[in-house]
């Protein structure tokens, strides 16, 4: 049984003996792969509708609640504190599209935003386009997918998910009458208006959830025409439209290759033409301006270059260089407007902006105030806009909306999110570099309250992801202040497999190089310990989805480094899931993880798959979180992992499984419900690190 020992008496103690931990029965499920016999004692947990599965998940939730009961006052304090940092009634910055200014509004006490607009001016009377609070009544979950306004401003195509399974139903609302048109389409992904009353939309396969079909529907016709079916299971479809509204684009994308089809909006009834035929490894994105197409391509340019082609002959043979590939600069996206263009790039590990002169093709960098920062696009729907809108933030700068003046490169602040109780001068950020075992330097973004950063005694929470080329940029989090104000340093390990340092950074952390991701993360932890940022008794790690794989793998490989581990919706049963092509996402993810039907890939996955590498040893305290309706990482991965680990671990540390029975991959959809989940997680971390008292 746990004791308080040297901890502060005010720190709640998580006692794993507060209740009897669930014991899952073992029912061996035997398969043979490449001559290797695989025995899975908990395969039965995949039977979602079986009463015994529901009973087991309920028992795990009850056990987690019992162990966490001493933290309930802390959870409430954290929730109240986090809520106190949020301006609950607020408006987004309006953006223009056509004759209207669009925005969203939150109201104190309501879980969801209301979407609205004003005609002609931000001071005009308000028109509600979509009230998610009304639509969510009586539902445990509500997620908004598509939100696409028709060209004339009279119609809204929108889609909703009511379970968390990412299964969206498409509807069209007549904004004049306020009523939906009499049709609904299930399992819809992206949508795009075709210039009149023609709507293009993509649907998913009901089993694999791969978006594989494009339909065209003229409102009122009753006909939903199948335009294209993508047969290759590695590819998924999304439909879009160029900013000048001249072309509808259909993109087929795998993890390594893209292919675009296009049709002119004014001829949207015609067949779509292939822009540049797919070839393995070639990724490109298309935009349109005047009489030319602009293309961002990785052809002969690992980190991409920009080319142009005449509208009447856009094939690769006619591509001409505009912006060459540059060492250390990865081109993420090109935003074209009538009189200017903006290039979003990654350089030095962070997102940055450059202005592209459409006549000379010269580039001009945009100055940003902090080295450690996060940057993203805001809605920029008007081709004739005179400025570019973007969102900027950092660990010590709240979310801020700017307009970039293309003539002067000046950034005009439109709104900085109000964060009650936050004083910027009390906090500091750093960028450090850890050295991986192969000598590679791994960036770490760090934020802490001044006076509590690097004395060797401060608790620290290390976050990581490292997959799919996704960059984890250091943003601002009002909720995170509840940790930092208790002396917890927060750090992000920008490990390989992510996209922070370009395409090579991604490819050196996937497929047969995936071990680099885990070794990098461990190297970052060791660097922080050696640098006096924390000690093993004060170091916790957290990650979700592929980041949950990361934290679970790190716990297997170096359990001695960590006091606590949080694995959220973790991808921990890598081999079993990747062997099952009937599961959502499996086939399209072969290019990220490999296909274990191939012996080399199977053997390599066997080196790191957390479920397969659990063994008899002492583990840190662990909180594993999952959701019953998750379609990306199935709930049973976390459930099986915890059940197996309980039979192997030699320590007396808490091992908790918390299952959200009414949500999907992202957890609760309502903002207050989501804050409750954060407070629960933070209470676990703070209790284990012995850091529950606020710094005054």
Specify whether the CB–CB gap between 101 and 385 falls below 8 A. no
Pairing of strands 621-627, 655-660: parallel
Q: Which of 381, 346, 384, 340 is nearest to 363 (CA)?
A: 340
Residues in the chain: 696
The three-class DSSP label of residue 359 is coil
pLDDT at 455: 64
Q: What is the reported pLDDT for 105?
A: 98
What pLDDT sits at residue 207? 86
Mapped onto helix, strand or coil, the DSSP state of residue 640 is: helix
Q: Which residues pair with 621 in a beta bridge?
A: 564
Give the tens place of pLDDT for each residue, 311-337: 999 999 999 999 999 999 999 999 999
- Name the pairing type of β-strands 460-464 and 539-544: parallel
- The dihedral formed by the CA atoms of 180, 183, 187 and 192, expressed in degrees to the nearest 10: -70
Q: How many Cβ atoms from other residues are within 10 Å of residue 131's Cβ?
A: 16
Encoding tokens for residue 206? 């009901």
The CATH class for the domain spanning 29-84+424-689 reads: alpha beta
Residue written as tokens 């100055």? 367
Which residue reads 């540049």 in tokens? 276
Q: What are the start and end residues of each CATH 3.40.50.1820 domain in the chain?
A: 29-84+424-689
- pTM for the whole structure: 0.96
**pLDDT value of position 154:** 96
Write out residues in the chain with pLDDT < 50, as ranges: 1-9
The reported pLDDT for the residue numbered 331 is: 98
Catalytic residues: 545, 630, 665
- pLDDT at site 335: 98
Q: How far apart are CA 543 and CA 391, in angstroms?
A: 24
How far does CA 84 lie from the centroid of its chain?
A: 25
Measured in degrees and rounded to the nearest 5, phi and psi for residue 79 equal: -60, -50
d(CA 85, CA 49) in angstroms, rounded, equals: 41
By the 10 Å C-beta count (0-12 exposed, 13-18 middle, 19+ buried), 54 is classed as: middle
Distance, CA of 428 to CA of 396 (rounded, Å): 7
Q: What is the largest CA-CA distance in the chain?
A: 76
pLDDT score of 6: 36
CB 157 within 8 A of CB 172: yes
Q: What is the mean pLDDT of the chain?
A: 96
Question: Which tens digit of pLDDT belongs to each residue from 646-693?
Answer: 999 999 999 999 999 999 999 999 999 999 999 999 999 999 999 998
Sheet containing strand 564-568, edge to edge, reads 427-435, 441-449, 489-493, 460-464, 539-544, 564-568, 621-627, 655-660
Taking the CB of residue 391, how many other CB atoms lie within 10 A of it? 16
How far apart are the C-alpha atoms of 308 and 303, rounded to whole Å? Answer: 17
Please write the tens of the pLDDT for every residue from 551-600: 999 999 999 999 999 999 999 999 999 999 999 889 999 999 999 999 99
């Amino acid at each position: 049984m746990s004791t308080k020992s040297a901890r502060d008496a005010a720190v709640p103690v998580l006692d794993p003996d507060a209740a009897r931990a669930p014991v899952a029965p073992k029912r061996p499920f035997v398969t043979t792969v490449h001559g290797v016999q695989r025995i899975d004692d908990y395969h039965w947990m995949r039977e979602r509708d079986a009463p015994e599965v529901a009973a087991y998940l309920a028992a795990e939730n009850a056990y987690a609640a019992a162990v966490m009961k001493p933290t309930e006052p802390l959870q409430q304090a954290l929730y109240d504190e986090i809520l106190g940092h949020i301006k609950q009634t607020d408006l987004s910055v309006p953006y223009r599209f056509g004759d209207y200014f669009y925005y969203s509004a939150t109201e104190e006490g309501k879980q969801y935003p209301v979407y609205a607009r004003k005609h002609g001016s931000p001071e005009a009377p308000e028109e509600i386009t979509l009230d998610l609070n009304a639509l969510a009544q009586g539902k445990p979950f509500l997620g908004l997918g598509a939100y696409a306004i028709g060209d004339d401003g009279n119609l809204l195509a929108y889609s909703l998910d009511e379970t968390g399974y990412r299964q969206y139903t498409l509807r069209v609302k007549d904004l004049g009458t306020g009523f939906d048109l009499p049709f609904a389409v299930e399992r819809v992904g992206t949508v795009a208006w075709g210039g009149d009353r023609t709507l293009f939309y993509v649907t998913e396969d009901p089993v694999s959830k791969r978006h594989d079909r494009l339909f065209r529907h003229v409102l009122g016709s009753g006909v939903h025409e199948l335009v294209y079916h993508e047969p290759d299971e590695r590819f998924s479809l999304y439909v879009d439209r160029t900013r000048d509204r001249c072309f509808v684009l259909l993109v087929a994308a795998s993890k390594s290759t893209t292919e675009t089809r296009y049709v002119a909006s004014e001829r949207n009834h015609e067949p779509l033409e292939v822009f540049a035929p797919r070839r393995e490894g070639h990724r490109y994105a298309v935009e349109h301006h005047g009489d030319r197409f602009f293309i961002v391509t990785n052809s002969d340019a690992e980190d991409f270059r920009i080319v142009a082609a005449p509208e009447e002959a856009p094939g690769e043979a006619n591509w001409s260089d505009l912006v060459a590939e540059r060492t250390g600069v990865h081109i993420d996206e090109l935003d074209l407007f009538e009189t200017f263009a903006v290039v979003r790039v990654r350089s030095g590990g962070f997102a940055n902006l450059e202005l592209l002169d459409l006549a000379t093709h010269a580039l001009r960098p945009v100055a940003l105030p902090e080295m450690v920062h996060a940057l993203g696009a805001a809605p920029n729907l008007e081709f004739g806009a005179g400025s570019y809108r973007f969102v900027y933030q950092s660990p010590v700068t709240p979310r801020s909306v700017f307009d970039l003046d293309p003539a002067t490169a000046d950034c005009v602040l439109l709104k900085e999110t109000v964060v009650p109780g936050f004083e910027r001068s009390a906090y500091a950020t750093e960028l450090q570099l850890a050295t991986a075992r192969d000598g590679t330097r791994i960036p770490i973004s760090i934020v802490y309250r001044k006076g509590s950063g690097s004395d060797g005694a401060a608790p620290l929470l290390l976050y990581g992801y490292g997959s799919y080329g996704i960059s984890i940029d250091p943003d601002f989090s009002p909720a995170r202040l509840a940790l930092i104000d208790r002396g917890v340093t927060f750090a992000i390990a920008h490990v390989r497999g992510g996209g922070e340092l370009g395409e090579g950074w991604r490819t050196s952390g996937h497929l047969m190089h995936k071990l680099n991701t885990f070794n990098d993360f461990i190297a970052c932890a060791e660097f922080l310990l050696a640098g006096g940022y924390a000690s093993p008794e004060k170091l916790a790690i957290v990650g979700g989805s592929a980041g949950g794989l990361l934290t679970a793998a790190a716990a297997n490989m170096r359990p001695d480094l960590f006091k606590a581990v949080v694995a959220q919706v973790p991808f921990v049963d890598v081999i079993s899931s990747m062997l099952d092509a009937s599961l959502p996402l499996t086939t399209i993810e072969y290019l990220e993880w490999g296909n274990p039907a191939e012996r080399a890939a199977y053997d390599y996955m066997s080196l790191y798959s957390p479920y397969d590498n659990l063994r008899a040893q002492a583990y840190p305290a662990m909180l594993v979180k999952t959701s019953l309706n998750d379609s990306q990482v199935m709930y049973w991965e976390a459930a099986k992992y915890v059940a197996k680990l309980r039979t192997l671990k030699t320590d007396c540390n808490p091992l908790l499984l918390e299952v959200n029975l009414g949500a999907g991959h992202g957890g609760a959809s309502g903002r207050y419900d989501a804050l409750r989940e954060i407070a629960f997680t933070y209470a676990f971390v703070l209790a284990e690190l012995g850091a529950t008292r606020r710094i005054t």
